[in-house]
Structure 1
Amino acid sequence: MPSVVVVGTQWGDEGKGKIIDLFTGSAQHIVRAQGGNNAGHTIQIGDLEYKLHLIPSGILHPNTQCYIGAGTVIDPKVLIHEIKSLEERGIDTKERLWLSPAAHVIFPYHCLLDTLLEAKKGERFIGTTGRGIGPCYVDKANRIGIRIGELVRNDLFPKLLKSVLTLKNEKLTKLYNEAALSYELLLEEYSSYADTLRPYVVDVETRIHEALEKGENILLEGAQGTFLDITVGTYPYVTSSNTTASGICVGAGIGPRAIDHVIGVIKAYTTRVGNGPLPSEEKNSFLDHQSAREFGTTTGRKRRIGWFDAVLARTAVRYNSLDSLALTKLDILDNQETINICVAYSIDGVRTEHLPTLSCDIEKIIPIYETLPGWLTTTENITSIDALPPNARAYLQRIEQLCGVPISVLSLGPEREKTIIVNDPFTHEVAVR
C-alpha cells in the first residue's frame, strides 16, 4: 500500500494543511518529520478552524495514528498546550499521538538566544519566528542538545540540563550581558512537562517500519516549503531543517525507496513571509491580503505576494522528485483580468530559466512574464476540471506544461468540499473530468 509525502514547493503557507487533511482519511499513519512550532497548518472543517503547529493534521481524523518524528524540535510547553486545546474540542490524543525519543527539545535559552542573535545580525536579519528553532538545531549539530527520550528519563535529564545550562548561561552573561537562567526553575518546569509527555514517547521509527511491512498507508507531512530548506533554499533566508522530500524521509527514519508518491503543494501565485528574495514579487500587490487570507499561520505577519513562478516551481519539482502538484487558491485569482506567469529570469541582461544558487544573484532577477487572460467568474463551487472556465483550464494546463508534472489536486477554497481530486495517490482513482 502507498506511502505518500506531501511537501511545500514554495516558501511555506502553500495550503499543505488542507491537502494533508484531504488524504488523511486514506491513511492509517501520519508522520510529522521535521521543523518545530515555527510552522503552522490551518485546517477548515465546516465552520471550525484548527491551527496546528506541532501535532500532525491527521489527529483530526479519529482512526489515525500520528507521529512526531526524530527530525523535529519540540517545545514541550507548546505541544502540551496543543494537546489540551484539541482535547477541549473533543479530540483525544491518547493512544493516537506518539513522540520519537530522538526529537530534540526546545528550552527557554533557545528562544532567548534566537531573539538576541537576530538583533545582532544587522543587514543579515532573517525575520525568524523567535521560537528557538535555529538555536535548538545548532545544539543538535554541536551534539549538546537534549532529546525527548532524555527529557523523560529522571536518571538522565537533571545532569544533562545542568551541563548544557552552564554553557548557555556563560554565553548569555558574557556575550549578551543577560541574566543567567535558573537551573532549579528550569528543572522544575521541564520535569513537569516530562511527566505529562512520558506516555506519548515510544520508538516511533520502529512503529513506522512495522506499518510499512504490514502494507498500511502512511502519509508524511512536510512543514514549511522547499525554498526554506537549510541546504537548497534561498540561504541565508531559510529555516534550520531540511524541508524537501528527502529531508522528510530522514526525519521520519525511513529510506526514499519506501515512498510511492510525492505531492508538491503549490499556490496559484507565490507568497513569502519575512525577508529574502521573491523574484516575482509585486510591491503593489494585485491581491487584497484580507480577502486572500494572506497572513502567516504562526506569526500573523502579512505575506508578500508575487505571480506564479514557473522557474521556482520547476526547481522544486527537481529537488523533491515530485510526481504531481496540488494547486491551491485558484479561486483567489477569479477577479484578475490578466494573469502573469514568470517563465524565465533576466539577470544582468542575460535570460536564464534556472534559479541561481546565491541569494545576492536571486535579488538581481527581473522576471520575464507570459500573460494569460483571466476568467472573471467565480470558481469556488466548481466540482470538476471540465466545468472550470476555459481560461482557468488554460492557466492550469500552462502550469502543467511549464512544471513537467500533472496537477492531481485542485483547491478552490479553504473548506474540504471545495476541492477537485483529479488523481488520488492512495487509491489511484482518476476523477471524471
Structure 2
Amino acid sequence: MVDAILGLQWGDEGKGKIVDYFAPQYDIIARFQGGPNAGHTLYVEGKKVVLHQIPSGVFHENTINLIGNGVVLDPVTLKRECETVKSFGVDVRKNMFISHRTHLILPTHRALDKASELQKGNDKIGSTLKGIGPAYMDKTGRNGLRVGDLLDKNFTTSYIRLRLKHQRLLDNFNFQEDITAWEEEFFEAIEFLRSLNVVNGEYFINEQMAAGKKVLAEGAQGSMLDIDFGTFPFVTSSNTTTSGVCNGLGVAPQKIREVMGVTKAYCTRVGSGPFPTELMDETGEELRKLGNEFGATTGRPRRCGWIDLVALKYACMINGVTKVIMTKADVLDQFKELQVCTAYEVDGKETPYIPFQMTRHQIKPVLKSFAGWNQDTSQLKNPADLPVSMKEYVSFINKFVGADVSHISNGPGRDQIVTL
C-alpha cells in the first residue's frame, strides 16, 4: 500500500512539514522525483532544517527513507545534508537507501544549467541552477550516469566521456567559468555516496510492501510545475503528479491508495511563468511579509496572490486527490477580506478551464470575495474552535474542487495542525 503527498500549486506548499507530521504512521518515506531543487522545511528540536535530497522522514528513528529512481541526485548536496542530519544524532547508514537507477547530477550539468539560463536573457524560466534539467535531459537522451554505475570499475571512464560531451555543449554557449573546484567536491562526495546503502529500489520497495509495510511517497515541487501538465515551458523537468509515483519508485498504479494534495490557503510562485492571481500591490507584499515567502532553496522572494481554484481543481483532477491539506492558513489571519479565483477571463471570455498555453493569452482572474476571520488562529487545535468565516472559506473550496480539506496547518510547528 502506498499513499502519496504531493503539491497542488507551484511548489513551496509546505510539504516537508506535512510529510514529517504523517511520517510516524508509515514504515517507509520514499522520494519519487525532483532533485536538490526541492526545499522541504522541517523544524527539529526547535531548529529549522531544509532538506533538498533526503526524504522528510529521516528524523523518525524507525522509519526507512528511500531515494527513488525518479530522483536526480547531486552527491555534493546529499553529503552536506547527511552531515547536517548527523549533527542531530541520526545515522543515515541505518535508515536511508538509494535506488541503483537514480541518475546523478554532475558538475557539468550545473554548468549547462547556468549557461542555458544565461543565454535565455529575458526569457529565463527561473531555473534553480542545480543541474536538474540537464540531468533529466541526459536521462531521456540515454546518456546519464546512475548511482549503480558507481559500483562499476569503469565509472571514471564513463564520467570523462560524458564530461567531454558536455564540454562541447558548454563551448557552444561560450561558458568560461572554471568548474575544477566543483569536480573536486563531486569526487569527494562520490566516495561518500559509495559508503551508503544502494539497493535495487523497485525490488526493495515491493518486497517491503509485500511484507505489509506502509509507504508514503513524497513529491517535490508542485502539480502546476509538472513537465506534461504544468504551465509549460515554465515547469520542472519531471512528473510531479501521482503518475510520477509509479515511474519514480517502480510501484504499480493499483498499489496507490490515498493521494494527499497540499495547497497553501493562498498562492505563491518562485521565478518566471504565468500566475493569474498574482497581486502586485500592498496586499501581495503583505502576504509575502506575513508568510515569510522566500524560496527555501534559492532565497528568492516569492510572488504572492489569492488562491486559484481553477488551477487547484485541475490539480485535484489530474492527481486523483482524495484529501486536501491546507497550509499557512494563519497567514490570512489579519485580512478583513479574502478573495478566491473561481474562473478565468481569457481574451475577454470566461472559462473554468486552464488554457493550453497560458503565456499566449491575456488572463484575468474572476474573483469571489469572502469575509476574513481577522483573528489569531495559530494556537487552535480543535476544529470546532475555528472561526466561522474560516469554515465557510474551507467549505467553499471543498465543494469547488471536489475533494475535502482534511487538515489545516496553522503555523510552522510540527504540532500546529488541525484535523477536520
TM-score normalized with structure 1 length: 0.93
Alignment of 1:30-41 (within 5 A): 30-41=29-40
Q: Number of paired residues? A: 417
Structure 2 counterpart of 1:116, one-letter code: A
Cα distance in 2 between the residues matched to 1:405 and 1:359: 25
Deviations 1:245-303 (A, max 9, x none): 11122101112111110000001000000000111111115224233121110001111
Deviations 1:97-117 (A, max 9, x none): 111111111111111111111
Query: Does the aligned pair in 2 maintain the 1:341–1:371 contact within 8 Å?
Result: yes
Query: Does the aligned pair in 1 maintain the 2:116–2:173 contact within 8 Å?
Result: no
Q: 1:336 to 1:178 in 2, by over 3 A?
A: same
Cα distance in 2 between the residues matched to 1:58 and 1:177: 39
Decide which moves more: 272-281 or 380-389.
Answer: 380-389
Equivalent residue number for residue 100 of structure 1? 99
Deviation, 1:345, is: 0.8
Query: Does the aligned pair in 2 maintain the 1:151–1:191 contact within 8 Å?
Result: no
2:277 counterpart of 1:280: yes
Equivalent residue number for residue 115 of structure 2? 116
Picking from 188, 192, 197, the partner of 1:192 is 188
Q: Secondary structure at the match of 1:4?
A: strand
Equivalent residue number for residue 240 of structure 1? 237
Q: 1:46 to 1:415 in 2, by over 3 A?
A: farther
Cα distance in 2 between the residues matched to 1:4 and 1:402: 24
Q: Secondary structure at the match of 2:384?
A: helix
Query: Does the aligned pair in 2 maintain the 1:45–1:415 contact within 8 Å?
Result: no
Structure 1 counterpart of 2:148, one-letter code: G
Deviation, 1:19, is: 0.8
Deviation, 1:207, is: 1.3
Deviation, 1:343, is: 0.5
Query: Does the aligned pair in 1 maintain the 2:277–2:307 contact within 8 Å?
Result: yes
Gaps of 5+ in 2: none
Deviations 1:181-217 (A, max 9, x none): 67x994x654433331123211122111011112211
Cα distance in 2 between the residues matched to 1:297 and 1:368: 31
Deviation, 1:179, is: 6.8
Q: 1:69 to 1:166 in 2, by over 3 A?
A: same
Structure 2 counterpart of 1:255, one-letter code: A
Structure 1 counterpart of 2:147, one-letter code: I
Query: Does the aligned pair in 2 maintain the 1:6–1:265 contact within 8 Å?
Result: yes
Structure 2 counterpart of 1:402, one-letter code: F
Deviation, 1:351, is: 0.7
Cα distance in 1 between the residues matched to 2:297 and 2:9: 17
Q: 1:190 to 1:283 in 2, by over 3 A?
A: closer
Q: Secondary structure at the match of 1:260?
A: strand
Picking from 232, 246, 249, the partner of 1:249 is 246
Equivalent residue number for residue 21 of structure 2? 22
Query: Does the aligned pair in 1 maintain the 2:261–2:321 contact within 8 Å?
Result: yes
Task: Percent identity, please.
Answer: 39
Query: Does the aligned pair in 2 maintain the 1:339–1:372 contact within 8 Å?
Result: yes
Structure 1 counterpart of 2:174, one-letter code: Y
Deviation, 1:342, is: 0.5
Picking from 390, 398, 401, the partner of 1:400 is 398
Q: CA RMSD in A?
A: 1.7
Q: Secondary structure at the match of 2:228?
A: coil
Structure 2 counterpart of 1:197, one-letter code: L
Picking from 216, 220, 223, the partner of 1:223 is 220
Cα distance in 2 between the residues matched to 1:175 and 1:50: 36
Q: 1:297 to 1:181 in 2, by over 3 A?
A: closer
Q: Secondary structure at the match of 1:201?
A: strand
Query: Does the aligned pair in 2 maintain the 1:152–1:197 contact within 8 Å?
Result: no
Equivalent residue number for residue 13 of structure 1? 12
Cα distance in 2 between the residues matched to 1:190 and 1:291: 38
2:141 counterpart of 1:142: yes
Cα distance in 1 between the residues matched to 2:390 and 2:45: 26
Equivalent residue number for residue 86 of structure 1? 85
Moved over 4 A (4+): 179-182, 188-191
Cα distance in 2 between the residues matched to 1:310 and 1:177: 42
Equivalent residue number for residue 69 of structure 2? 70
Q: Secondary structure at the match of 1:94?
A: helix
Cα distance in 2 between the residues matched to 1:318 and 1:299: 30
Deviations 1:319-353 (A, max 9, x none): 10100100111111011111101001111221100
Query: Does the aligned pair in 1 maintain the 2:328–2:409 contact within 8 Å?
Result: yes
Equivalent residue number for residue 382 of structure 1? 380
Query: Does the aligned pair in 1 maintain the 2:125–2:234 contact within 8 Å?
Result: yes
Query: Does the aligned pair in 2 maintain the 1:334–1:376 contact within 8 Å?
Result: yes
Q: 1:41 to 1:181 in 2, by over 3 A?
A: closer
Query: Does the aligned pair in 2 maintain the 1:152–1:195 contact within 8 Å?
Result: no
Picking from 404, 416, 419, the partner of 1:418 is 416
Query: Does the aligned pair in 2 maintain the 1:46–1:415 contact within 8 Å?
Result: no
Gaps of 5+ in 1: 423-433
